[in-house]
Amino acid sequence: MKLLITLAWRNLWRNKRRTLITASSVFFAVILALIAESMIKGSHEAMINNMVKLSTGYIQLQDSLYEDEPSVDHAFMFDNSVKQIMQQNSHIAYIVPRFESYMLAATDQATRPVMLRGVDFEAENLLNATSHKLIAGSLLDKTDQSVLLAEGLAQRLKMQVGDSIILVGQGFRGMSAAGIFPVKGIVKISLPRLNDRLIYMPLAATQQLFGAEERLTALLITPQDLTQTDKLAQELRAKFDPKWFKVLSWKQMMPSLLQSLKLDRASGMLIIYMLYLVVGFGILGTVLTMMLERQREFGILLSVGMKRGQLALITFVETVFISLIGVAAGLIGGLPILVYMHHHPIRFGKEMEAMFEAYGMEAVMPFALDTEVFSSQAIVVLLITLIIGLYPVLKVFRMNILKAARN
């Protein structure tokens, strides 16, 4: 066996040009597959991060009835028992408490339905960088009795920093929730549907407004490793009594986003499959050329006594070596390209900004730098090459020795 592998390796370099051409086809196949997969994965990660951070978070802890009936009456008590479970789990990066409810916002000129979001701004800033979204005025602190308006809502209500807004709604267990609050700042939210209706208020002031001190409508939980979101959600479900609490991942709370990602993934994979098809035929063409060039060599080897099985094994090992060389070169060559594209994503013109903003994304094409991108594409291209490598094996077993030796 060792002798056959040695012969296969030496055969590769007897005709360096043929070997390099075949390995080059594998090399470029890996490069193209890496770029395509990285682009698809990067755009999906950007969409998930933007949508999830501004809306549901990666994991939410809720009252068991809140998902079916999102009312402030189903706000849960954020007591020491809940805090202790959060502190004891090392897989949690940080938590973001929220108290949300729909209300009616009024000025002397207009009235609109709004979403009031009571937050701890230090924690909220960790999740979605609220401080970077401020375009006028100043941020709120924990003791403020003021609000931040989303830019779109401020424009619709024709409000500026320093104006006062009236908020009216239903509080906890039938109480009245109403008050007049000064506008301390205006923030720009990348999601249009939130930018037209969102109002931020300090968490303590919101709880006081609704008569729900120490209560939350949701506790957002961010994992240390975002790829382990589902696993962390499962761990937390085991810690909380399902009679009183429910732990949901973003996939459960945003099924429409998950469906759109699956659809986009399917269309992206169609393009990658077409790339695999082109790559496969390209590699097959080089292998066919190699077999035509080596027919006389194979015929002579068989005529002097080499067994067909041994020759077939040598040709297959040669294909394996060429595949490994091409894949390794593709990974080495693709790494600096993806590193550069990850840190310098493709930026689109202003005419594309509106379309990207509808998904809460910046008008760029991001590239993912993930080990899964490299491993999956390398394995697929390697398998394609090895399957094509079976052709020389079949050719050897079907070869007419006398005809091949005369060519």
At 290-320, the pLDDT tens digits run 777 777 777 777 777 778 777 778 778 887 8
| Token reading at 162 | 């320093």
Spatial separation of the C-alpha atoms in residues 352 and 363, rounded to whole Å: 7
Q: In Å, what is the CA distance from 57 to each residue of 95, 242, 351?
A: 10, 20, 30
Q: Is the pLDDT of residue 195 over 80?
A: yes
What integer is the mean pLDDT of 384-392?
Answer: 81
Average pLDDT for the chain: 84
* % of residues, the chain, pLDDT over 70: 94
pLDDT category, 11, cuts 50, 70, 90?
A: confident
Q: Where are the beta strands (DSSP E) in 233-333?
A: 245-249
The arithmetic mean of pLDDT across residues 116-134, rounded, is 88
Residue 360's pLDDT is 56
Lookup: tokens for 96: 């973001």
Average pLDDT over residues 235-256: 89
Q: Is the pLDDT of residue 407 over 70?
A: no
Averaged pLDDT, 91-120: 91
More confident of the two residues 28 and 294: 28
Residue 84 has pLDDT above 80, yes or no: yes
Paired tokens of 18? 């043929």
What does the pLDDT read at residue 351?
64
- pLDDT score at 110: 85
pLDDT of residue 349: 64
- Across 20-24, 130-134, 243-247, 266-270, the highest mean pLDDT is recorded for 243-247
Distance in angstroms (rounded) separating the CA atoms of residues 58 and 303: 67
Confidence of residue 225 (pLDDT cuts 50, 70, 90): confident
C-alpha to C-alpha distance for 193 and 195, rounded to whole angstroms? 6
Retrieve residue 54's tokens.
């501004």
In this predicted structure, what is the pLDDT of residue 16? Answer: 80
Instruction: Name the band, by pLDDT with cuts 50, 70 and 90, for residue 356.
Output: low
Residues in the chain: 407
